[in-house]
Structures are given as structure tokens and as C-alpha cells.
Structure 1
């Protein structure tokens, strides 16, 4: 019975979310001639609708441990499910999000993503990808906007700790911004590659800010440890503190 209820709630969520997404995209396309202001409001509405649907259909609450500093920072997120790719817009103001280019190749949605400020990366293109990244991040820096990255490169199951992709170090050196690492455990309730989404609490834990200018290995080690703070402790490793929790 419990599995059937989870299936029914997941099905209702899928219908409601994708219907909402289509309506938001069509509205944004219709308002394109009015400039970027309406687009930003529509994107925020889409993200807020996603959080409401997660809360009231799936039974997924959100908890934030620690304060999210606002301003021009380099935010790096643990990546366990689609949840945080949409919900981070509820945490960070006007972010520029670095994502794989395939997302920006989606008809309609991709054009809107580019206009909002997403940066697409084709990892197979090597040096060309780096030059593209440099151009786009310079524009973001000039606009005073924060930049968000999923440094693991793809969604990983909860509990796994893959090394960070080289893109993190390249952007850390290029941007020269303080890094805000964010741990998230969304994979416990919304596992990747699973249609079923279970009720529970998705927790964000905001790690200590990492200053710019550190040696690459040190910056990577600090970021890697912080974004994995909500994973089960490794053998011989003590669990971290509870932190300060605030509802979101």
C-alpha cells in the first residue's frame, strides 16, 4: 500500500510539474519582447511552483542549516537529484548557473535558459569549452551576479563522494570569488534515475566560505568535504555537527 501511494503521488507530481513547466515556458516565450525582467519573474515562479508541488503532493519539506550569504559568490552544490537544479533559485538571488550544454539544446527551454544567464559547457570540446567558459563568466562577473556550479558534473547517488571535476578548479582560479559550498541530501527522497519520489525532508547545509586565492588542492579538498557533509560518515570519521537550522 505504501509503495502504491508513493507511485500515485509521484505520478500526480509528474503531471502537475511538467504541465506547469510547459505553461511557464510558453508564457516566457510570449513575453520575450518585454526584456529580461518578466523572464526572471517567470523563472522564479517556476521554481517556487516546483517547491510547492514537492511539498504538497510529494510531502517533501526543505530545511536549511546555516545562513546563505547573498552577493557575488561562487556557489558549489552537491548534486543528487533534479530537485536542487530547480530549487537553488529559491536560495540564491539571480544566479548564473553552469550546466551541461545538452540542457540548453532543448528547444524553447534552452533559449530561455541562455537569456536567463545559464552557461552551457560541452566537456568534450576541451580548450574550446574553457575559452567559452571564460567569455561567459566575464559577462557574469561584470553584471555582479553570483555563479552556481555542480562540481561533480552529474547527479550521484546519496552517500557517494566522487572527486570534483577539473571545472571547479578552473572556475575557482578564473573567478577569484569566495566559494560557498552547499551540501544537499535530496537523493534520499528523490533518487536519480528513479520515477518514485518519497516524502521526507531535503536538507541544505551551508558550509564555511572558502576564500579565493588558495592552492588548488586545498580549495578542492575544502569544497569536497563541505558538499559531502550530509553523507554518511566514512569509516573512522565522526559525523559533523548539527549546525543551525532554519526552515525554508
Structure 2
């Protein structure tokens, strides 16, 4: 049955996404607000298919929002949270890998949406550019969403944080809200998806201005909090 659900989800979601994605460059021509509405339609469609076809539900622990822009630092175990967090967090500016932002047409639309591009090489120039892009989004009142471990990991894996997070934390000087997620338990990288509940645990805000090592330790512990349960 889980294979039947998985195949049905792939057919409905990916076929339904084709016209939505193809229309994205056209919507982007009408400005960021139109593109954000368009994106919300897609993420809402994703949420409906995961809930009603796959039987995957979400549970939220802690406070989603803070007063003013913050950095949301989240665990990344599946595609599921990349779309769910986008619609849960009031259109945050998402930190995205350079390779994704370089995809023809789609990358242009993503930049129109307001993504922040991060270079895996973490050169000084790349970090400065990332901070400038983040500051521009903060000026518009948007929060920042980053997956500080830099890549998707399997349940139980706890790699160190990438340099991009520390650069944003030190330069932006705004609070960080860590987000622990256990989506990999129902959404493995390979094989069928499993019905169940994904927990999004929003931790206590981490204040700005802490030494880099302490801030990284607090974030690393908080985003991996569900791994010990």
C-alpha cells in the first residue's frame, strides 16, 4: 500500500507541478508579489498531496514566529520541509545553493522571488555577496531560512554547520530560531514514503552577538534535538 501511495503521489504532484513550474517565469514578470502568490499555490498543492495521498501530517512544537525578522536555522532531511517551511514561515528568503540558482530560467525566477545564493566554497567574496543579499531581504521585512548543515542528511546524521551560517549570524546581528525536523523517518531518500507525522520543533530564540563557537553549538544542539527522542 505504501508503494501505491508513493506512486500515486508522484503522478499527481509531479504532473500537477508541470504547468505551475512552466508558468513561473511568466508570473515572475509581474513582480515579486505575484511570484510569491504563485509559489504559495504550489506549496499548498504539495501540502495537500502529501497529506491526502501519502498520509503525512505535520505537528508544530514551539513558537513559529518572532517579532521582526529572524534567521530560521533548520534541519534538512527531505524535500518535504523545503516546501512546507516556505509556506509556514510567511515567505522567508531562502538560502539556496549556487548550482540551483544557476539553472536557466528557473534560477532567474528564484532570484526574482528573493533567494540568497550561497557558494559551497565559502570564499570571502561569496560570503560578502550572500550577506548583502540577506541584508536587502531584511530591509523588506523578510526573515531568512537556512539549512545550516548545508545538505540533506539521513536521520541520525549530525554533520557540522557550514561557514555560511556563521557569516550570516555574525553580520546580520538578528536572533536565530533553530528548527528541528524528523521528516527523514517518513520521507527517506530512496524507497517509498511512509504515512506518519513530521514534527517541526521551533526552539527558543538564540540572541545575536554570541561568540561564533557558542552560537554554532546552540544551533547544532537545537536542530538535532529530535534525534535523541
2:84 corresponds to 1:49: no
2:7 corresponds to 1:11: yes
Deviation at 1:122, TM superposition (A): 2.2
2:80 corresponds to 1:83: yes
2:31, 2:112 within 8 Å by CA — same for their partners in 1?
Answer: no
TM-score normalized by structure 2? 0.94
CA deviation string 1:140-194 (max 9, x = no partner): 12212100100000011111211111211111001101000000000000012x1
Residue correspondence of structure 1 range 116-135 to structure 2 within 5 A: 116-124=113-121, 126-135=123-132
Between the aligned partners of 2:116 and 2:143, the Cα distance in structure 1 is 12
Residue correspondence of structure 1 range 15-164 to structure 2 within 5 A: 15-70=11-66, 71-124=68-121, 126-164=123-161
CA deviation string 1:98-127 (max 9, x = no partner): 011111222332222111111122212622
Between the aligned partners of 2:196 and 2:206, the Cα distance in structure 1 is 30
Deviation at 1:138, TM superposition (A): 2.0
Partner of 1:227: 223
| RMSD value, Cα | 1.5
Between the aligned partners of 2:199 and 2:215, the Cα distance in structure 1 is 24
1:123, 1:129 within 8 Å by CA — same for their partners in 2?
Answer: no
Between the aligned partners of 2:135 and 2:122, the Cα distance in structure 1 is 20
1:28, 1:38 within 8 Å by CA — same for their partners in 2?
Answer: no
Between the aligned partners of 1:107 and 1:14, the Cα distance in structure 2 is 24
Question: Where in structure 2 are there 5+ consecutive unaligned residues?
Answer: none
1:28, 1:39 within 8 Å by CA — same for their partners in 2?
Answer: yes
Between the aligned partners of 1:159 and 1:125, the Cα distance in structure 2 is 26
Query: Secondary structure at the residue paired with 1:151?
Result: coil
Query: Secondary structure at the residue paired with 2:21?
Result: helix
Query: Secondary structure at the residue paired with 2:90?
Result: coil
Between the aligned partners of 2:208 and 2:122, the Cα distance in structure 1 is 27
Partner of 2:196: 200
Question: Where in structure 1 are there 5+ consecutive unaligned residues?
Answer: 234-238, 240-248
Between the aligned partners of 2:121 and 2:166, the Cα distance in structure 1 is 17
Between the aligned partners of 1:202 and 1:48, the Cα distance in structure 2 is 16
TM-score normalized by structure 1? 0.87
Q: Which has the larger radius of gyration?
A: 1
